[in-house]
């Protein structure tokens, strides 16, 4: 018989992480461990208050399906029993890993995917003053960063981007507004950002208030993050965004993420794979999806004071496998 263990942990950050909605010094994660016939599968999720999630609500969702899980619930059954979100993500990833272990395969082998030697990942520049963000960019470049993700709010947008571009002349830059540009005139702003070779802008307007993105031609690609959680969101976004950001915690795990990749391609939309703050256990589960992405942002573990197994290697702007 299968057994399920649920645990909640607070992971301190090595340094504060700031976005337009606030600053964090620690992240709370929920982990699921499944054991069957001596084989183990584990998954991790990060409950997000912005999506009305807490560690307690996620644990309660998981407890609500304990009987089904321990009596052999399948991945397909899980999709019907839990909605998209963090709880389903942790359990979905644990089931994928358990199924692979029962087959005496790695997750890559079970998915019939040959892993690459490495994957380029963004390194996030936390929201701060122009001077501190420029210093962080210089530090990242000195360590070999290839892709920087600039967290911005509605203040000093061009000043920060200009300073960071000067500090990182040869690095790919993407920008994440986290819904904070509701008061901006976006059409000229995107043209101005294009002059700094910004490769993409993520979620400039609040989710549900982004219809204006369909009213003009974008000078650079715009990516839906908070506006796009699961497959059911994609079709309505085609005239507003060029790209979607797939996060396992939003969509509910690897199963839905793989379906989102297929549907986005059908709709002619490009793909980014992102993450919430979390450990290597959470990031590793997203790597098979990252192979389909134009931009990958799986730098969660480098913000932690201490990582957790399987301890992915981050070096020279890449995750090394």
What's residue 65's pLDDT?
98
pLDDT score, position 243? 98
> Is residue 202 annotated as involved in ligand binding?
yes
- Give the β-pairing of 222-224 and 243-246: parallel
Q: What is the pLDDT of residues 67-99, one digit of tens each?
A: 999 999 999 999 999 999 999 999 999 999 999
Sheet containing strand 22-36, edge to edge, reads 3-19, 22-36, 39-45
User: What sign has the CA pseudo-torsion 182, 184, 185, 187?
Assistant: negative
The CATH superfamily assigned to 3-111 is: Enolase-like, N-terminal domain (3.30.390.10)
Query: In the chain, which residue ranges form alpha helices assigned H by DSSP?
Result: 55-64, 66-70, 75-81, 86-102, 107-110, 130-142, 157-167, 186-194, 231-234, 248-251, 254-266, 280-290
- The two tokens of residue 236 are 């309505």
CA nearest to 193, candidates 206, 181, 179 = 181
Domain boundaries, the chain: 3-111, 118-320
Which residues are annotated as catalytic?
151, 247
Alpha-carbon distance 196 to 35, whole Å?
51
- Provide the pLDDT for residue 138: 98
Average pLDDT over residues 211-231: 97
Mean pLDDT of the chain: 97
Residues 6+ positions from 142 with CB-CB distance below 8 Å: none
Strands 243-246, 295-296: pairing is unpaired
- 186 burial (CB, 10 Å; 0-12 / 13-18 / 19+) is buried
- Whole-prediction pTM: 0.96
Give the pairing type, strands 243-246 and 123-125: unpaired
pLDDT in tens, 174-212: 999 999 999 899 999 999 999 999 999 999 999 999 999
User: What is the Cα–Cα distance from 247 to 256, expressed in whole angstroms?
Assistant: 10
Strand pairing report for 22-36 and 3-19: antiparallel
Predicted confidence band of residue 154 (pLDDT cuts 50, 70, 90): very high
pLDDT band at residue 1, thresholds of 50, 70 and 90? confident
Give residues with Cβ within 8 angstroms of 22, minimum separation 6. Answer: none
Distance CA 277, CA 46 (A): 7
Give whole-number Cα distances, 177 to 20, 125, 226, in Å.
7, 12, 11
Phi, psi of 194, rounded to the nearest 5 degrees: -60, -30
Q: Which CATH superfamily is domain 118-320 in?
A: Enolase-like C-terminal domain (3.20.20.120)
C-alpha–C-alpha distance, residues 194 and 198, integer Å: 5
Query: Would you say 225 is a known binding-site residue?
Result: yes
Rounded to an integer, what distance in angstroms lies between the CA atom of residue 48 and that of residue 27?
Answer: 10
**Measuring CA to CA, which residue among 1, 285, 294 is closest to residue 122?**
294
Residue 176 among known ligand-binding residues: yes
pLDDT of the residue at 297: 98
- pLDDT (mean) for 43-62: 97
> Are the beta carbons of 30 and 47 closer than 8 angstroms?
yes
Higher pLDDT, 18 or 93: 93
pLDDT of res. 308: 93
Q: What is the mean pLDDT of residues 39-63?
A: 97
**pLDDT > 90? residue 20:** no
Split at pLDDT 50, 70, 90, the class of 24 is: very high
Q: Which pLDDT belongs to residue 77? A: 98
Q: What is the mean pLDDT of residues 261-268?
A: 97
pLDDT at 7 over 90: yes
pLDDT band at 2 (very low <50, low <70, confident <90, very high): very high
DSSP 8-state symbol, 116: P
What is the C-alpha to C-alpha distance for residues 71 and 318, in angstroms, rounded to an integer? 40
- Percent of the chain past pLDDT 70, that is, above it, reads 100
Helix (H, G, I), strand (E, B) or coil at 233: helix
Please tell me the least confidently modeled range out of 18-22, 30-34, 249-253, 273-277.
18-22
The answer to whether 201 and 228 have CB atoms below 8 angstroms apart is no
Please give the C-alpha separations between residue 304 and each of 14, 95, 160, in angstroms, as whole numbers. Answer: 5, 26, 25
CA gap 265, 51 in Å, rounded? 26
């Amino acid at each position: 018989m299968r057994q399920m263990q649920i645990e909640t942990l607070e992971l301190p950050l090595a340094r504060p992480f700031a976005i337009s909605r606030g600053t964090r010094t620690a992240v709370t994660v929920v982990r699921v461990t499944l054991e069957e016939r001596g084989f183990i599968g584990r998954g991790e999720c990060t409950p997000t208050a912005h999506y009305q999630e807490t560690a307690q609500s996620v644990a309660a969702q998981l407890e609500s399906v304990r009987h089904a899980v321990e009596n052999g619930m399948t991945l397909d059954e899980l999709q019907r029993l839990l909605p998209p979100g963090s709880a389903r993500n942790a359990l979905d990833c644990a089931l994928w890993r358990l199924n692979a272990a029962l087959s005496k395969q790695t997750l890559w082998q079970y998915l019939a995917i040959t892993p690459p030697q490495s994957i380029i990942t963004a390194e996030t520049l936390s929201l701060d003053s122009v001077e501190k963000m420029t210093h962080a960019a210089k530090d990242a470049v000195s360590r070999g960063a290839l892709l920087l993700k600039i967290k911005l709010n509605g203040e000093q947008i061009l000043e920060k981007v200009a300073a960071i571009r000067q500090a990182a002349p040869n690095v790919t830059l993407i920008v994440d507004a986290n819904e904070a540009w509701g008061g901006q005139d976006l059409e000229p702003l995107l043209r101005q950002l294009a002059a700094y070779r910004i490769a993409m802008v993520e979620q400039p307007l609040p989710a549900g208030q982004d219809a204006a993105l369909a009213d003009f031609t974008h000078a650079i690609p715009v990516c839906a993050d908070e506006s796009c959680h699961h497959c059911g969101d994609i079709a309505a976004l085609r005239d507003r965004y060029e790209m979607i950001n797939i996060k396992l915690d939003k969509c509910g795990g690897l199963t839905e993420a793989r379906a989102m990749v297929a549907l986005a391609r059908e709709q002619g939309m490009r793909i980014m794979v992102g993450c919430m703050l979390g450990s290597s256990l959470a990031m590793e589960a997203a790597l098979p999806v990252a192979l389909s992405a134009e931009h990958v942002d799986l730098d969660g573990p480098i913000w932690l004071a201490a990582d957790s197994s399987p301890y992915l290697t981050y070096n020279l702007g890449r995750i090394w496998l």
